Chain A
Amino acid sequence: DMKVTQMPRYLIKRMGENVLLECGQDMSHETMYWYRQDPGLGLQLIYISYDVDSNSEGDIPKGYRVSRKKREHFSLILDSAKTNQTSVYFCASRGTGGNSDYTFGSGTRLLVI
């Protein structure tokens, strides 16, 4: 079964701590994404990765960085987390090809206190 897996599911961090969110996919998809979702808002795009070491800023990249060293793994890093980064973070992947759609992970709920 095609899957995007996010770890951890829940995370509590103190302000100023570093945060690592991990995402894996088993479909060999080239393109992967990190979004955040806040109440009453749709998903906002943080970063896109088109393949290994080929990353591009999304709409709200400030305060985040990413790492993609293997096609199947895409990490989101918060250096010195802030309280306004409390959110639900979703990873997604998309394969090339005409009828591909996007596969989303189940999300990581991050609370920064």
Chain B
Amino acid sequence: GEKVEQHESTLSVREGDSAVINCTYTDTASSYFPWYKQEAGKGLHFVIDIRSNVDRKQSQRLIVLLDKKAKRFSLHITATQPEDSAIYFCAASRGTNTGKLTFGDGTVLTVKP
């Protein structure tokens, strides 16, 4: 089955810098790649996703890149703010119709003022 590896278990940046979290996947049929943010003691909050028909997507300060050849996708958070501090999870799925999401192990992002 699909395996998703999230490369950074922890990441610390200074406020205003960019943060990059990298994930790789194994299933070449995966076509949907969402990212989730989890604040302490809370559930997962959807932040952004990308589908395999594009290689870049931006939503305000969030950019997601997808390299299908390398089976790699990444989340870039620009101009980081202390409230960006959280655990970020990447995930992969064969597409929304199949519904099974496989998660990475999470990256603890700390943004220092």
Question: Separation in Å of the B86 CB from the closest CB of chain A?
Answer: 14
- In contact, A59 and B49 (Cβ under 8 angstroms): no
Report if A58-B96 is in contact (Cβ < 8 Å); known contacts: A104-B44, A106-B43: no
- In contact, B100 and A106 (Cβ under 8 angstroms): no
- How many interface residues does B have (CB within 8 Å)? 24
- In contact, B4 and A42 (Cβ under 8 angstroms): yes
Q: Which residues of B contact A41 (CB under 8 A)?
A: 105-106
Q: Does B113 contact A (CB under 8 A)?
A: no
Task: Pick 28 A–B contacts, CB within 8 A, sort by A.
Answer: A33-B101, A40-B9, A40-B105, A42-B4, A42-B89, A42-B103, A42-B106, A43-B89, A44-B103, A45-B101, A45-B102, A48-B99, A59-B1, A90-B44, A92-B44, A94-B96, A97-B96, A98-B96, A101-B34, A102-B34, A102-B46, A102-B101, A103-B46, A104-B36, A104-B44, A104-B45, A104-B46, A106-B42
